[in-house]
Amino acid sequence: MFHLVENFVQVREQLAQDYFPHIADLRTCVHVTYWSDFHHITQPLFDLLPFGQLFGGSRFYMFSDYQLDPIAEEARRNLLFWSLGNITTFNGQRAQELTLFYDKTFFWHYVVPAREEEIKQHILEGHRVRFLS
């Protein structure tokens, strides 16, 4: 029985390596806050989520109109990656969702001071400024 379990774990690990060769480590991303003991997501999903970037003018609409479907697809693939890795939530259940939330501290303390002139220009031109934290 032990060898069967050991082989199953090896197969899962091999599948994860084969199907998800590029993984982002959230510990190295200063502009992302995460609330999990597990700190890896698939690189393609991470690349689709423009964390720390401003959305001015029509860029937000281009993003929301054309990127949401690919993000949903990559999020499903990420859940498969977590399933293969047997990643669980704080209460021991399999991870079933990714949640994005707004981090006011990062925006007001890091983004605004660093990009103040760009933000002012967008506002003066009558554009909203959006930000994915």
Q: What is the pLDDT of residues 48-106, one digit of tens each?
A: 987 777 777 677 888 888 888 999 999 999 988 888 887 777 777 887 777 766 667 77
pLDDT at 109 over 70: yes
8 lies in some domain: yes
Number of domains in the chain: 1
The answer to whether position 113 is within a domain reads no
What span, in angstroms and rounded, lies between the C-alpha atoms of 60 and 66? 10
Q: 3-class DSSP state for residue 25? A: strand
pLDDT at 129 over 90: no
Q: Is the pLDDT of residue 111 over 70?
A: yes
3-state helix, strand, coil in the chain (%, to 5): 55, 10, 35
- Residue 83 in any domain: the answer is yes
User: Which pLDDT score is estimated for 30?
Assistant: 65
Question: Could you identify the residue written with the tokens 């060769």?
Answer: 21
Whether 105 is in a domain gets the answer no
Residue 112 in domain: no
Whether 120 maps to a domain, the answer reads no
126 falls in which pLDDT band (50, 70, 90)?
confident
Give the 3-state secondary structure of residue 85: coil
Q: Determine, yes or no, domain membership for 85.
A: yes
> How far is the C-alpha of 43 from the C-alpha of 128, rounded, in Å?
29
Across 12-16, 65-69, 81-85, 128-132, least confident range = 128-132
Q: Is 114 a member of any domain?
A: no
- Looking at residue 93, the DSSP 8-state letter turns out to be P
Distances in whole angstroms, Cα of residue 56 to Cα of each of 61, 63, 107, 123: 9, 11, 15, 9
Instruction: Supply the mean pLDDT for the chain.
Output: 80
For residue 31, the SS3 value is coil
User: At residue 5, does pLDDT exceed 60?
Assistant: no
Q: Is 41 helix (H, G, I), strand (E, B) or coil?
A: strand
Query: Max Cα separation, the chain?
Result: 69
Q: Which domain holds residue 41?
A: 2-51+59-100
